[in-house]
Amino acid sequence: MNKTIFLSGICLGALAIILGAFGAHGLEKMVDVDAIGTFETGVKYQLYHALFLMILAGMKQLPEKSKRMVFILIIVGTVLFSFSIYVLATNTLTDFNFKSIGFVTPIGGLLLIFGWLLLGYRVYREQV
């Protein structure tokens, strides 16, 4: 499980760097400044949680079952939060109105918060 968590962090991190470069260099002529700022917010949160997963993978204090639940919350939360921000920021580039699915962004944010809180709770409860 630790290898899966660590590799997931690496993949999310690499993708965040790619998307960040695209946002900084590819989007500037396609969308307005506010949309680029919004896109960058998604990149930042994705990168933060990529690093979070890499640290989680190396934690020896938690049993695998605890890590697994935190991992699932962080992965699903990051996908819902960051990826919905990406499509909302680039909404003007497509015919589909992504604002109609904008409700997934706060759901993703809540899952991220729950992941952090669950990690804190599990660390607190473990006899280290």
pLDDT tens column, 24-59 = 888 888 888 888 888 999 999 999 999 999 999 999
What torsion do the CA atoms of 1, 113, 51, 19 make, to the nearest 10 degrees? 110
Q: What is the pLDDT of residue 70?
A: 96
Cα separation, 114 vs 95, whole angstroms: 34
φ/ψ of residue 23, rounded to 5 = -65, -40
- 92 and 31 in contact (C-beta within 8 Å)? yes
Q: What is the domain range of residue 91? A: 2-125
Q: What is the pLDDT of residue 66?
A: 87
Domain total in the chain: 1
Cβ count within 10 A of residue 119: 22
Q: How confident is the model at residue 127 (pLDDT cuts 50, 70, 90)?
A: low
Q: Residues 81, 19, 89, CA angle at the centre, nearest 5°?
A: 55
